[in-house]
Amino acid sequence: MVKIVDTMGRIKLQPGIKAIEEEPKEYEDIPLNRAALACMINSEIGAVLAIMRRNVRWGGRYMSGDDQLEHGLIQSLKALRRNVFMWEDQWGEISPVLYLEPFLEVIRSDDTGAPITGIALSAVYKILTLDVFDLSTIDVDKGMLMVVDAVTSCWFEETDPASEEVVLMKILQVLLACMKSKASVVLSNQHVCTIVNTCFRVVHQAGTKSELLQRTARHTMHELIRCIFAHLPEVDSIEHSIVKGGISNKSEDAMFLGAMNENANGIGLGKDGGALENVHLMTEPYGVPCMVEIFRFLCSILNAVEHIGATSRSNTIAFDEDVPLFALGLINSAIELGGASFLQHARLMNLIQNDLFLNLMQFGLSMSSLILSMVCSIVLNLYRHLRTELKLQLETFFSCVILRLAQSKYGASYPQQEVAMEALVDFCRQKAFMVEMYANLDCDITCNNVFEDLANMLSKSAFPVNCPLSSMHLLALDGLIAVIQGMAEKVSDESMGLESAPVTLEEYTPFWMVKCGNYKDPNGWVPFVRRRKYIKRRLMIGADHFNRDPKKGLEFLQGTHLLPEKLDPESVACFFRYTAGLDKHLVGDFLGNHDEFCVQVLYEFTKTFDFQDMNMDTALRLFVDTFRLPGEAQKIQRVIEAFAERFYEQSPHILADKDAAFLLAYSIIMLNTDLHNAQVKNKMTEEEFIRNSRCVNIPREYLSEVYHSICKNQLRTTPEQGTGPPEMNPSRWIDLVHRSKKTAPYIVGDDGAYLDHDMFAIMSGPTIAAISVVFDHAEHEDVYQTCIDGFMAIAKISAFHHLEDVLDDLVVSLCKFTTLLNPSSVGEPVLTFGDDTKARMVTVAVFTIANRYGDYVRTGWRNILDCILRLHKLGLLPARVAIDAADEMELPLEPGHGKPLASTLTSAHLASMGTPRRCSGLMGRFSQLLSLDTEEPGSQPTEQQLAAHQRTLQTIQTCHIDSIFTESKFLQSESLLQLARALVWAAGRPQKITGSPENEDTAVFCLELLIAITLNNRDRIKLLWQGVYEHIASIVQSTLMPSALVEKAVFGLLRICQRLLPYKENLADELLRSLQLVLKLDARVADAYCEQITQEVSRLVKANANHIRSQMGWRNITSLLSVTARHPEASDAGFEALQFIMSDGAHLSPLNFTLVVDTSRQFAESHVGPADRSLRALDLMAGSGMCLVRWAKESKGASKEDAAKLTQDIGDMCLRLVQAVRKACLDQREEVRNHAVSSLRKCLTGVEDVLLPHALWLQCFDVVIFTLLDDLLEIAQGHSQKDYRNIESTLTLAMKLLSTVFLQLLNVLSQLTTFCKLWLGVLNQMEKYVKVRIRGKKSEKLQELVIELLKNMLVVMKTKGVLAPRSSLGGNSLWELTWLHVKNISPSLQSDVFGAEGREQNYMGQLETTQVPKGMISSPDRAVVSQG
């Protein structure tokens, strides 16, 4: 629709443009045939004439002079009949006045009766509804105005009540048709007001008529209001035109002349439509001016009703609710149609803010639930459309009406409570409502905490205390759920929110002057609002401190930067003025104190009040309402002086000076005491009060008004008792109107969750408790679902805003309803669970929260695990959860959640299912149920039992419990850590587990889950490892006998190490160190699982040998392998692992060389298993010497220091190697012993190329070879043949070892300064072996071997020039000492090797030797000589 509006705010007319969108009519779909219009009008003329002829007055002729003439009304109708057919083709050019005037004359005539008037009205109605004329028709404005004037001034003779009612109904019909006509835009403001006034008169008159007329009249009035205010959106602001029009206050207060007159019948309207002073403005085409007057008129109806009913409030329902309901309905219609357009017109908004809302506040406390419901509907409409200009009005409505009526403790009846609660729920369903209440009111230091109060009230109202669940409880629940779901809709699972940064005050800023730069941009108003809320909370805390000790309270506020370090009067005054919860007695005493600072605070305090345009009694009420007036006269005087000065400053036109203001204020206080003190018998009269106040020199009317105000309403100088919502009184309303002009702009909420974190933190606790109680008391599934929806919304919000404690509280509450935490119920718990809809629904909710929002669960994991453990005990967990957790990662991952379970069970399962030994899953439960002995038909499951089990199965499937652990890698670190701790907690202490199989099963299951999440979170193993290790350690160290728990602990530990070593090099040492726990196992436990442990260690070594890079790690590995060498079942696997390490030296390193060699020695010495394994162990040891050679070659490229260190290390390793082999040379088994000697020879000769320190070679001979020869000799002489079979062969091999090694290393050894000592030691050993007796007999074979070996050695030494006459190697003469010892072995060897030269040199050497003083021979040589 095209709208053209002039500068005066009136609708301009353009030809052919529709001004009003009509409602559907019965003629709307019928195309208008202009040719048929003549017939239609002609028929209406005939109808009027016919009804007139039935009356004798109109039926005959009468004489006028000599001519017989008809009545003028009939003549005009007949004249129209003659012309009507002449206009068939030119209706658009015919003035409507021509064909409307005859009918309108009949309507206006005083002589026509009700039937005739009624037919004429019907004719006009038909013409209007057929659109015979439109805006393009000439004189359309005159025609419309004539219709309105005629109908609104209709007179007719009353014949009978029925006919009169018909005429009244037709009047309403025609007036409504005028407003709905396309030509209605030509009507003036005055005519529209007249139409409304006429309709209201009919409504009033219909009170004594039939029910039909009453309903029709009221319906028409509603339609008129809708039609008029539907135009408001089309009208631009014309406030300036109204002001320019100069409508006086007098005209504003009188829309209609005599509009409201109280009479015996109630409310009546005068005949005249009223006359406003500005005739020009009211004669313009209608627009905002008439709407302002109509709206004021509607409010005046409420005012009149209130005055009428004011005296009968003792009987709360005594006054008639019909009229206020009617007026409120009209107002509601106007607001519905006008909508947000009211905001464009200040005068309309002023009516709503002041007159309307005051009436709504008064009628809101009505005992009539119908009136209250209508009031709430109006306020809801006002909120939706106009809330930006009604901030304080809405606060007052909720504080004084909704909060008072919705709770029974303030005396409201149940219907009132229900209506108020329904209204509040409607508000809660507005998505932005609670956010806006919080942002605009709760975060404003001058306003009440409306959001907090409403949320608490809803929570409390939802609690069924000692009573069954009622509709009121469910209403409150709906409100809570609406608020929570509104918050939940703002967040999404994909994008989790961040915690809001805490607000702090770094320095002092006047808290009452905090401003916002942009109230429309969330980036501007959100920090501002949060800062204000922080200030408000701190002020409340400060008030609490102040109430206990004023001085400490002010110091606290200084410490929080809300008051300056050096107190100033203004800041303290503003603290007193704007802080709720202060003790008004303390404030009054402070303000009345004579101290100079307190006096300054008092005057600053008065400056915070706005007394403009107020009577003094109203101003004084507001003033003393903020504190308790002190009791001392001097204090009272100081307070009143400050008040009077402020009042005079703002209202100098009323009083002469501030002294006059003081006198009047004091007079009012004295009057108040006189009138309302029970001890005063003779009350002050009005005349006395005026006479006492004559010195003030103000009008008598003013004083009279003050007197009656004080007389009617006591001026309370002490705080009101009670904690209920405050009642609205006239003075508070005036203050509200003043404050509303200065309050901060209204913040409009949007879809952003800017403040939801703070709001939810306030209401979450009571909300969870309330929904939980309702859920507990509920008995219907729809209520269950409502509660579950609320729980899920709470979980979603908690997760989004990182409110972990709230989510934990929710989980705790929900787990109680699963019945899984309860002791076993009577009967079969699985059947009970399947039949309990509530338990099944909440169980699904618990695990949905765990899966969906597990990132933010903390202590709640304990409760969730309690539920899982209960399901485990009942055998209800899916197989994927119940299997060995160590195999979890090896299972192929299938689409979906976990291993699919059968969703249905039929009789076909009976044959295939047996009774399992242990029910490990849900299918086990079914097999138990279904595989009952067929010989006992009485024990067969019923259909109900099968159905219950089926429901249980479907519920557990829906829970996706397995996903909690398989998807744990996606959990946030803190949540994962809490889950692990919860598993440890749920498992219990190992000392308490061993006594009960059930407890042990629980502990095993918890350990399985713990290992599962450990393996699934290898990237975060460092986070979990300490707790996992300590738990496993406590199990291992406290277990003395084999059990499933220690088995799971040990193998879980080994598999964790096996799987995680490749990925966590920085944690490898920690993992390998944990293997010490296996070494600490009790002997009985270790023996029971040794083979399996070895197999796991073997797997670990084969998979991770390259990742073991510390000596400590290898020490633990080799220690475990060494233990297996003595275990019959485990030795094979242990040796296999050892072979893997040592074969070809692939995994040998300086770190593990000596450890592995020592382990290999233990396998070589072990008598467990075949001897062949010992031989292979010796081969491994012998082959490891090649690694030393390789490392020695690699060291040549290193730096000098590194090479020296590596050489030293290689030497140590070499010595350890040959020492280990030497020990194996003493084995009782001949083949092992002999093979060990051969291996030792390989080791010693294999490292010839290694540049070992000289001292090391001496050690090899002294500690290894010589010691071996001595040990073998001891064995040969001291043990029986049964213990060491064929020891002679070993001695033979040992001698060969000595000779071979000595000769092969002769080049190196001969360069040693101690070579002589070494050589004499060799000769000493050969001398022993020559003389040895085996079983009491000398061994000729050994004797011959020794001599032959010695001869060979001498020849080699001679050849190489090592042994020659006059040789002085080693200090003393090597030559003489050699032959001295050789003579004891074989005297002929010297001549055999050196011939005559040798004998001669030997003789000369002996002479020299005998001449050498004893002091010249070293002690080792002396020892050798003495032995010879």
Q: In sequence order, what are the residues at sequence separation of 6 or more whose Cβ sits closer than 8 angstroms to the Cβ of residue 1342?
A: 1288, 1291, 1292, 1295, 1329, 1330, 1332, 1334
Give the type of residue at 40. M
CA–CA distances in Å: residue 675 to residues 632, 667, 669, 879: 20, 12, 10, 86
Please give the Cα distance from 59 to 57 (Å, whole number): 6
Please give the Cα distance from 576 to 583 (Å, whole number): 10
The 3 state secondary structure assigned to 49-62 is HHHHHCCHHHHCCE
CA end-to-end distance (rounded Å), the chain: 139
Please give the Cα distance from 1010 to 798 (Å, whole number): 26
Please give the Cα distance from 1397 to 1365 (Å, whole number): 9
Please give the Cα distance from 1121 to 1163 (Å, whole number): 9
Phi then psi dihedrals of residue 63, to 5 deg: -95, 140
Q: With contact defined as beta carbons under 8 Å apart, do 278 and 293 qualify?
A: no
Q: With contact defined as beta carbons under 8 Å apart, do 481 and 790 qualify?
A: yes
Q: With contact defined as beta carbons under 8 Å apart, do 352 and 360 qualify?
A: no
Does residue 632 carry a catalytic annotation?
Answer: yes
pLDDT at 120: 87
Please give the Cα distance from 449 to 442 (Å, whole number): 4
42 C-beta neighbours (distance < 10 Å), count: 14
Provide the token pair at 1072. Answer: 């390998």
Q: With contact defined as beta carbons under 8 Å apart, do 1114 and 1157 qualify?
A: no
pLDDT at 429: 93
Give the type of residue at 722. G
Please give the Cα distance from 99 to 274 (Å, whole number): 29
Q: What is residue 826's DSSP assignment? A: S
514: left (phi over 0), alpha (psi -120 to 50) or beta: beta
pLDDT at 741: 85
Collapsing DSSP states into helix, strand and coil, what is residue 287?
strand
User: Could you tell me where the DSSP H helices lie in 206-321?
Assistant: 211-229, 239-245, 249-252, 279-283, 288-309
Please give the Cα distance from 1055 to 1071 (Å, whole number): 11
Strand partners, 844: none
Catalytic residue from among 158, 262, 632, 1397: 632
Strand partners, 474: none
Phi then psi dihedrals of residue 407, to 5 deg: -125, 135
Q: What is residue 1365's DSSP assignment? A: T
Q: What value, to the nearest 5°, has the Cα angle with vertex 811 and ends 807 and 812?
A: 115
Spell out, as residue ranges, where the chain has pLDDT lower than 50: 1-31, 62-63, 65-68, 237-277, 309-319, 722, 826, 882, 884-886, 888-889, 891-937, 1370-1371, 1398, 1400-1428
Q: In sequence order, what are the residues at sequence separation of 6 or more whose Cβ sits closer than 8 angstroms to the Cβ of residue 1112?
A: 1069, 1072, 1073
Q: With contact defined as beta carbons under 8 Å apart, do 100 and 137 qualify?
A: no
Q: With contact defined as beta carbons under 8 Å apart, do 389 and 746 qualify?
A: yes
Instruction: Report the b/e string of 1269-1305 with b at 16+ CB within 10 A.
Output: beebbebbeeeeeeebeebbebbbbbbebbbebbbeb
Q: With contact defined as beta carbons under 8 Å apart, do 1257 and 1311 qualify?
A: no
Q: With contact defined as beta carbons under 8 Å apart, do 95 and 143 qualify?
A: yes
688 CB burial (10 A radius; 0-12, 13-18, 19+): middle
400 C-beta neighbours (distance < 10 Å), count: 20
Q: What value, to the nearest 5°, has the Cα angle with vertex 557 and ends 552 and 561?
A: 145
**Which helix (H) or strand (E) covers residue 689, if one does?**
helix 686-692
Please give the Cα distance from 653 to 651 (Å, whole number): 6
Give the type of residue at 1240. L
Sign of the Cα torsion 1070, 1071, 1072, 1073 reads positive
**Parallel, antiparallel or unpaired: strands 1337-1338 and 1333-1334:** antiparallel
Indicate the Cα dihedral angle 1024, 1027, 1030, 1033, nearest 10°.
Answer: -50
Q: Chain centroid to CA 1146: how far? A: 56
SS3 content of the chain, % helix, strand, coil (to 5): 70, 0, 30
The rounded radius of gyration (Å) of the Cα atoms in the chain is 56
493 C-beta neighbours (distance < 10 Å), count: 10
